[in-house]
Chains A and B, each alone.
Chain A
Amino acid sequence: MSPKAGGDAGKVNSAIYKDKSKPADIRLSNINAAKAVSDAIRTSLGPRGMDKMIQAANGEVTITNDGATILKQMSVLHPAAKMLVELSRAQDIEAGDGTTSVVVIAGALLDAAEKLLQKGIHPTVISDGFQKALQMALQVVEGLSTSVDLSNEDALLKAAATSLNSKVVSQHSTILAPIAVQAIRAVMEPIQGGVGARVDLRDVKVIERIGGTVEDTELIQGLVIPHRASNVNGPHRIEKAKVGLIQFCISPPKTDMDHNVIVSDYAAMDRVLKEERQYILNIVKQIKKAGCNLLLVQKSILRDALSDLAIHFLDKIKTMVIKDIEREDIEFVCKTLGCRPIASLDHFTAENLVNVDLVEEVNEPSGKYIKMTGCSGGGHTVSVLVRGTSGAVVAEAARSLHDALCAVRCVARRPALVPGGGAPEAAAAAELGRAAIAAPGADHYCLRAYADALEVIPSTLAENAGLNPIETVTELRAAHASGTQSGAGVNVRRGRVTDMRHENVLQPLHVTASALALATETVRAILKIDDIVNTLN
């Protein structure tokens, strides 16, 4: 496994070797590959963006509008292109929304860098210039922002609706946006003495179910378990349930591989059978004594979590039992119900049970599921049941909801909103243009190039909406140059430039700021590469 330098022509098979040794070539190849990625997803930006259909190697079809998902699915080959895929994923983790914009901005910046390189400006100078421009742009964007009060539901709704508007489910944004806002508000914990609130998205469980339409999506203040109860003739609906979550099995213990129970007498056979019954009965009686009428059983691999006999007994004591609670879900279940998992029978006592107002098994053509509502002792968690006509629609609705949740979370984390529709980018471009004139040397070119690159967002928005990009961008430039309309952006609905604040198109500051910062950093990293070395295996 010796690394082989690309420039070392003597050691490689000369027939297939292509001269990429020159740093300029490598840089150009990288820039082109990255730009191709950004070009590929440009058409899905904005409220009039289109979807991509991706058929994976195993034949599974994904239809999506989400930049991060598209890039993750479409397995690109070029290492520099992979960096943009990573970039999109980073934005997904950091902000959750704006995954398309971040790649589009990076593509535009690379395009600008290419032109600067052709002018003969050194890559490190460009890189530093971009860094300066980023600082300025961030200041401008922050200056545009208006802080919001987290108790103001209206402002949060706008952020969620803006995020949803570019998705296939945009027509349902009146249903999904309130769900996203309510969900986040239910799970957020204000930071004491600080600004904003802490939101853990793991506290919002999104469950996908085919059937019905997206309009049937609902928010459940409680728990949804997407499979049926194990009972044979047990109850299907329990009011005022007492719930216990157990991590042990109600089935006869298995002997080890090399141990055997040896029976040599017919009386012993009866005993063996009776012992088994007694063993299970013992557990069930303890459950009954504790007053539990809903039992959740963690999934078990080594043993049956529930034997048939156990189900029979539990039916008799009218206890609903749900098995196969996934190990990773235990934490969420505990938090929702406010209970602790019970690991051994000795701890199965009344004080370890929790009250739930209503548990019901909902029967639908596509299958049954369990819904628990009114968890009095529970923590701050919610479940969202996403519905849709086909697997692809449900999956995309869930992804869109995730983006909306992230958008609201960003506001909670940093309670400030900026106008959308390309307004922050246009404002930053205007400011950078002014700064460029004053800047000396190469910075002048870099700032100007950066400013032009930022205009890719309004330009793409206009292009996707079928407007004339040149006309729109110049109109927008004029609005921002006048200095009075800082909220001016591309109004896709009306097809012209208007103040986005009046249109209620608002997005979280954190999304825009993080997109700019991440895109710039990635571009700087790509610019600094001057060689690709293949390690052969």
Chain B
Amino acid sequence: MSTLAAPLSVAGTRHSGAPVRTQNVMAAAAIANIVKSSLGPVGLDKMLVDDIGDVTVTNDGATILKMLEVEHPAAKVLVELAQLQDEEVGDGTTSVVIIAAELLKNADELVKNKIHPTSIISGYRLACKEAVKYIQDNLTVTVESLGRPSIINAAKTTMSSKLIGADADFFSEMVVDAAQAIKVTDSKGNGVYPIKAVNILKAHGRSARESVLIKGYALNCTVASQAMPKKITNAKIACLDFSLQKTKMKLGVQVLVSDPEKLEAIRARELDITKERLQKILATGVNVILCSGGIDDLCLKYFVEAGAMGVRRCKKADLKRIAKATGATFLTSLTNMDGEEVFEASMIGEAAEVVQEQICDDQLILIKGPSARTAASIILRGPTDAYCDEMERSAHDALCAVRRVLESGRLTPGGGAVEAALSIYLDNFATTLSSREQLAIAAFAQSLLVIPKTLAVNAARDATDLVAKLRAYHNSSQTKVEHANLKWVGLDLNEGVLRDNLAAGVLEPAISKIKSLKFATEAAITILRIDDMIKLDPEQKGKSYEDACNAGELD
């Protein structure tokens, strides 16, 4: 075993030992500090300007972090963490980052007090496991016991921190209706809510309160020709995933004509192939054709003659959803199993009405009352584009929250109630252990308090005072049987007092809390275990032995 610290020559720089951990923790804390002020109902927004001058105004943790160009590898872990929470849960992206950073900060303190990181890690793991169990056993209520208002409240809680918080009543109803409209049952018989199916369109102009929910599908396209009807009731819809354009020959097929008359014939034929297709479709009584490709101007007259509506360049994803909602077949080709081109009546989808409407500057096509299943689209209105973008993100977060509530059916109180209860519980739990993990669990408990603290600070309230009161309430709820109901107590940030958040309707999906604890712990542990960092230099031609030798690096 050598005591001689020979410089290890690598093509880059290397740091090891305690400074690396401190550096990583600092980087994580820096990331958390960026998003800290946007937590909670009184959290503020960030304005982000990118290199081409595009402005984004947002309150959403994942969006803020995604737009930052983070260099430090440990900070990148936190950015990834926020993104993961966004994908898996959709909500709570800010809090997950704040918790992870706080866990790291407290761990670093313990390491400085000569506690081995692995002891801290096993303490954190144990604490996370206990916390999750405690949430599941003691801090959740079922949706059934509270009914639809609870779902609306969960949506409201998510929105309360966002730009649309002021109109949360209005939007939460809309979001819950939308989520319930898109419910499908999977193969195992469970209801699932594919929130991507809610089509959110943005149009600036008019106030946010004039946003509308459409029971149907809104399509950001216009009819191909002005001569076509703009409104069709009892629509019969065909969804085509190919172009209705002049048929072109494939590469490698050359059209060679010597006779000018034949040229005409070939040109006519190119058109006729498409015309025949179109006529086959129209013959079955179809009066709306949605097409993902183009529609040739020459074909338009057939539409007009038949009084049908043709829409070109629809998005493929939109088209698939419309096909599902209306019961139409999403066709990539008309060919049947005999190699002939046919269009059968079974491929038609139906809707009560298809209409083109003017919203803002744009014309939209609305497909109302689809026959096969319900669909929902939300058209968001707002004064500026940035405002609409932020509304969309908020609506997305709220939809995710609603989905989680509907799928898992369990809710927890918000406003720091869960964190405070867990902190008391884990503190007590730590004292029952006689191993080194005790300190780590206590640190975990301490770290969770960052959420109520930050909430209070953001609301310009006395954080120390409020958190102390909150802890006192939760302590008595866990020690005295007659005070058990105090476990729902959380912060009321508008008044700066404590209240029963379950009764006040500040609710969050339980799964979001559980996942954010798990993800934050795992990310913190990943960073804590690192004690050596090697940064390799950007690839040059590769430093040779002789270069290193000459530079005297090997002596």
Contacts and interface: CB of A to CB of B under 8 A. Distances in A.
B10 A55 contact: no
Nearest to A18: B549
Given A50-B530, A56-B536, A263 B252 contact: no
Given A232-B330, A465-B116, A40 B8 contact: yes
Contacts of A33: 6, 8-9, 554
Contacts of B530: 50-53, 63
Nearest to A215: B518
A466 to B, nearest CB: 4
How extensive is the interface on chain A, given as a class?
Answer: 35 or more
Interface string A205-241: 0000011111000000000000000001100010000
B81 interface: yes
A57 B337 contact: no
Interface string B377-407: 0000000000000000000000000000000
A29 B554 contact: yes
A260 B252 contact: yes
B6 A390 contact: no
Given A51-B529, A365-B88, A32 B4 contact: yes
Nearest to A51: B529
Interface in A160-213: 168, 171, 210-213
Interface in B40-96: 73-74, 76-77, 80-81, 84, 87-88
Interface stretch (A120-128, A309-317, A407-415, A513-521): A309-317
Interface in B108-131: 114, 116-118, 121-122, 125
Contact of B332 (A55, A108, A232, A265): A232
A56 B525 CA distance: 22
Contact of A311 (B332, B546, B548, B554): B332
B10 A74 contact: yes
Interface of chain B, main secondary structure = mixed
Contact of A55 (B114, B337, B534): B534
A117 B250 CA distance: 78
Contacts of B250: 252, 272, 276
A533 B189 CA distance: 73
A281 B337 contact: yes
A2 interface: no
Contact of A272 (B10, B253, B332, B538): B253
A366 B83 CA distance: 11
Contact of B2 (A39, A212, A237, A536): A39
Interface in B488-544: 518-519, 522-523, 525-526, 529-539, 543-544
How extensive is the interface on chain B, given as a class?
Answer: 35 or more
Interface string A252-274: 10110001111111100110111
A298 interface: no
B118 A43 contact: no
A36 interface: yes
A171 B526 CA distance: 12
Contacts of A78: 9, 545, 548, 554
Contact of A54 (B114, B533, B543): B533
Interface of chain A, main secondary structure = mixed
B9 A54 contact: no
Given A54-B536, A74-B534, A269-B269, A16 B550 contact: yes
Contacts of A50: 117, 529-532
Contacts of A404: none
Interface string A296-336: 00000000000011011101110000000000000000000
Contacts of A232: 241, 330, 332
Given A74-B534, A390-B84, A48 B118 contact: yes
Task: Output the residue of B20, B339, B538, B552 with the most chain A CB within 10 A.
Answer: B339
Given A35-B2, A213-B518, A390-B523, A269 B249 contact: yes
B10 A76 contact: yes
A263 B256 contact: yes
A474 interface: no
A63 to B, nearest CB: 6
Contacts of A313: 335, 337
B118 to A, nearest CB: 4
A308 B535 CA distance: 47
A315 B242 CA distance: 16
A278 interface: yes
Interface stretch (B135-143, B229-237, B258-266, B439-447): B258-266
Task: Output the residue of B114, B249, B252, B257 with the most chain A CB within 10 A.
Answer: B252
Contacts of A252: 250
5 contacts: A55-B535, A260-B253, A266-B265, A266-B266, A281-B335
Given A73-B536, A111-B2, 19 more contacts: A32-B6, A51-B531, A52-B531, A61-B77, A73-B534, A76-B9, A77-B11, A81-B9, A107-B1, A211-B87, A211-B88, A213-B519, A255-B252, A263-B249, A266-B269, A309-B333, A315-B332, A365-B87, A390-B523
